[in-house]
Structure 1
């Protein structure tokens, strides 16, 4: 008989780890070593569960790249002893964090499932229990003695998504996340159904796990809006030590075709700043050159992010900028699917 899967819960902070003091009404951090006491249903799962918490749980608004490194170091230190990982973070920055982790871990052969909740674990109507229980069940799911999932995912409100395809869409609905450009990897109903034709292919067992901890944070997201001024764009592009820009454009990658705007972007690119183009729309793709208002961007060397989310684009930018690539290699890698983050034609 096969051994039960070992699952590690990593709690970094966020609403899911809070319980209410019913005397004062205040929220306080929950001790995850006593998780079975709070959610006895976990005993019914066919796996062994352990947990580890950040020394000081952080609010998702305080998430940064140093904490990304803490997360991957916990996974690295425990990788051989566990069959799957459930990472609990605040939902506000979960799409950013999980996208970044997907790029920081190469040749992943085990599931890493991010989840959280909109209400604390002790609330009467909480979504925390279902999100946590199903995330653990997914992390423990195996077929032919291999994990069904071997990528970084995000589970919320009955749906499992590829993490680097997600965006938070609601601050108050339980269905807080969406993946507009890629289908759900699994759906939880009466049965837990995996959409196996959209999962990443399993990495061969002889491929060694690679953890990348260098991220370049000298980057910015520049969101266009009607009326944006030359002074504002120039100030952003002249930020000291700036290395990369995620340009959030209109529709299929369109931007003002005014000379001042194109000249500023062109100068930034000449100054070795990488400029990548993603759409502001919640779904769809950048198609540079499709409209006249994106021909100029294409001609001066702006890199298309195709159908990447902003969260994934900023994470990928941080990752690739640390790799000392030529301009041509950078563009090739940015427009290539490395972790399933982009739809290749």
Structure 2
């Protein structure tokens, strides 16, 4: 009896992994078929290819397109692998994790810090092969696979700009590893909750405000044009004294989420500045990465018809 083959759709979206060198620098030039030809696919995996988007940076409209492709083609495939640029990979993973509800197959995002061809492309080839192996396990969810680590798509964040080990799992341990062509989950993952459905609506009228010691209080007024604002404060989600009053007023008029500029650790708002914003109605990002805080706010505002509804959805999703 022959072993059933896992059918995986490889979606190539550009990025460094698919780049070719030119006189003007690296530009995306390789498609999904080229990437697949650069590796030996894992045994028992049948890979089909598609090139729906080609660019180095993905935009919110691209996340929607991706979610629709995966939702519409789910019945035809056992899993999906997406190769894309690393600079916005974490944002895309967060978005797909929110949009694809009740996901009963693996959606695995990966990329590389070097193009897949030549000697320097060995890490890229490993990442692609590892991603295909994880997708073929049948485990449902959105994952980022990079440098042998399997990360929850909601927690992965690019932390290094010049290392093959570019991504960390923020405030959560990696879910597993891929080593010597073997997938090892660190713990048993729970089955996807609820029925499978697509919730892809987003609001792009969201800003990220990274506070600095020289931030002028008058600059806060410019944020009033946005429906949602993620305020990246200091440490525990604190803000400087001179910004408390304008940020409190902003939190009373708009949906504000208070996060930290620190890449690791949750925010508890133990200091007066950050606590004042929470009392005024701002939401806490808690242990979310900055990427997830921004994308989740965009998603909540896009899904709910009212600010109150978006606030509730942000808290519970």
TM-score in terms of structure 1 length: 0.85
Partner of 1:218: 205
1:4 to 1:246, Cα distance in 2 relative to 1, 3 A: same
CA contact (8 A) 2:86 2:112 kept: yes
Offset, 1:27: 5.6
Q: Does 1:97 align with 2:84?
A: no
Q: Does 1:137 align with 2:124?
A: no
CA contact (8 A) 1:224 1:247 kept: yes
Offset, 1:15: 1.3
- State the distance in 1 between where 2:248 and 2:98 align: 28
RMSD of Structure 2 on Structure 1 (CA): 2.2
- State the distance in 2 between where 1:123 and 1:171 align: 21
Partner of 1:166: 156
Q: How does 1:196-235 map to 2 (within 5 A)?
A: 196-197=187-188, 199=189, 201-203=190-192, 207-235=194-222
Deviations 1:91-128 (A, max 9, x none): 01101111111111111111000000111111312111
- State the distance in 2 between where 1:66 and 1:327 align: 22
Q: How does 1:1-345 map to 2 (within 5 A)?
A: 3-19=4-20, 29-39=29-39, 41-42=40-41, 44-54=42-52, 57-60=54-57, 63-126=58-121, 127-141=123-137, 147=138, 149-190=139-180, 191-197=182-188, 199=189, 201-203=190-192, 207-235=194-222, 237-239=223-225, 242-258=226-242, 261-271=243-253, 273-288=254-269, 290-324=270-304, 329-336=309-316, 338=317
Q: How many residues align?
A: 314
- State the distance in 2 between where 1:27 and 1:215 align: 29
Offset, 1:327: 5.1
CA contact (8 A) 1:19 1:123 kept: no
Give secondary structure in 2 for the equivalent of 1:86: strand
1:25 to 1:96, Cα distance in 2 relative to 1, 3 A: closer
Partner of 1:342: none
- State the distance in 1 between where 2:239 and 2:216 align: 13
Offset, 1:319: 0.8
Offset, 1:330: 3.6
Offset, 1:304: 0.5
Offset, 1:211: 1.1
CA contact (8 A) 1:4 1:46 kept: yes
TM-score in terms of structure 2 length: 0.92
- Unaligned stretches of 5+ residues in structure 1: 142-146, 339-345
CA contact (8 A) 2:202 2:303 kept: no
Deviations 1:285-325 (A, max 9, x none): 1112x223322112211111101011001111111102235
Offset, 1:248: 0.3
- Unaligned stretches of 5+ residues in structure 2: none
1:34 to 1:327, Cα distance in 2 relative to 1, 3 A: closer
CA contact (8 A) 2:108 2:131 kept: yes
